């Protein structure tokens, strides 16, 4: 049975749209756990555009399942992770101008750098996952850098415009998962997965964990909307 790790970044995105303190991603994480989520993940970006240092600190104090911190492989973040001690770190590429994480990490290009980062995180007792494109060469490189887990970037798959394209792109995900399994790496998948495109993964039991955020927040806004409006009507009607 695969695990679901809920990404709470976009609860913070809604908060940041107003620059106030609601909705709180820390409360959302608690609700996700009450609903049965196996873990919570958040991305502390260098520009703190959604999750901030306070969120990470409180998530560390309150998350009872498992906390996964997504971050760029840079000194500032390694220091923060070593102090906060999430159970796991997921290393991702980060560009300031991007809307969201756009591609997988190019581990092949900088193995020495990533090996050093993994070493520092392991010393702090933190497991390390590499967010990579579904490419067996990247899988090998992540293994060579002593990563514990790979998270297969499913963004390209989820953006497929036709059934044929989806099948082809899913085929790459399958190959990457098989290469990772052969190297005894843990296998996660995430980015762009929603209530429809995730169904194809039923056939891929090698994936142990799914990291999903945006589609859950989008669904929550819609399924909760009617109830929220009714509550406000009840209130206003008493005036
Ligand atoms: N995994 C990684 C490494 C990510 O960067 C993201 C987006 O923050 C996700 C999973 C979740 O993607 P989505 O919000 O599209 O579900």
| 195 Cα–ligand 1 center, Å | 14
CB 32 within 8 A of CB 6: yes
pLDDT value, residue 77: 98
Cβ burial of 178 (10 Å; 0-12, 13-18, 19+) is middle
- The reported pTM is 0.97
pLDDT value, residue 99: 74
97 pLDDT more than 80: no
Catalytic residue IDs: 43, 70, 191
Q: Report residue 70's pLDDT band, with 50, 70 and 90 as the boundaries.
A: very high
Which SS3 state, helix, strand or coil, does residue 149 take?
Answer: strand
For 168-211, write each residue's pLDDT tens digit: 999 999 999 999 999 999 999 999 999 999 999 999 999 999 99
Q: Please check whether the domain covering 3-236 is classified as CATH 3.40.50.1450.
A: no
Ligand 1 pocket, Cβ-based, cut-off 6 angstroms:
7, 9, 43, 70, 90, 92, 100-101, 131, 151, 190-193, 211-215
What's the average model confidence in pLDDT over 20-27?
98
From 6, 7, 189, the mutation candidate for ligand 1 (largest count of ligand atoms within 8 A of CB) is 7
Q: How does DSSP classify residue 49?
A: S
CB 201 within 8 A of CB 177: no
For 138-157, write each residue's pLDDT tens digit: 999 999 999 999 999 999 99
């Amino acid at each position: 049975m695969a695990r679901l790790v809920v990404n709470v970044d976009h609860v913070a995105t809604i908060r940041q749209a107003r620059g106030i303190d609601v909705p709180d991603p820390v409360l959302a994480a608690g609700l996700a756990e009450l609903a049965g989520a196996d873990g919570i993940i958040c991305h502390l970006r260098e520009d703190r555009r959604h999750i901030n240092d306070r969120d990470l600190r409180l998530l560390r104090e309150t998350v009872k399942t498992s906390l996964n911190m997504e971050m760029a492989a840079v000194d500032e973040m390694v220091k923060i992770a070593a102090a906060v001690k999430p159970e796991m770190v997921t290393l991702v590429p980060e560009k300031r101008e991007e809307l969201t994480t756009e591609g997988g990490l190019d581990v092949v290009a900088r193995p020495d750098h990533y090996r050093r980062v993994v070493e520092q995180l392991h010393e702090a007792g933190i497991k390390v996952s590499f967010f990579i494109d579904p490419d067996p060469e990247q899988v090998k490189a992540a293994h060579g850098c002593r990563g514990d887990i790979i998270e297969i970037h499913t963004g390209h798959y989820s953006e497929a415009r036709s059934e044929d394209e989806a099948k082809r792109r899913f085929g790459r995900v399958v190959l990457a998962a098989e290469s990772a399994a052969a190297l005894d790496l843990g296998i996660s998948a995430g980015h762009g997965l929603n209530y429809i495109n995730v169904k194809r993964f039923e056939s891929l039991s090698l994936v142990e964990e799914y990291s999903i955020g945006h589609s859950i927040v989008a669904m929550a806004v819609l399924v909760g909307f009617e109830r929220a409006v009714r509550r406000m009507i009840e209130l206003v009607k008493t005036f």
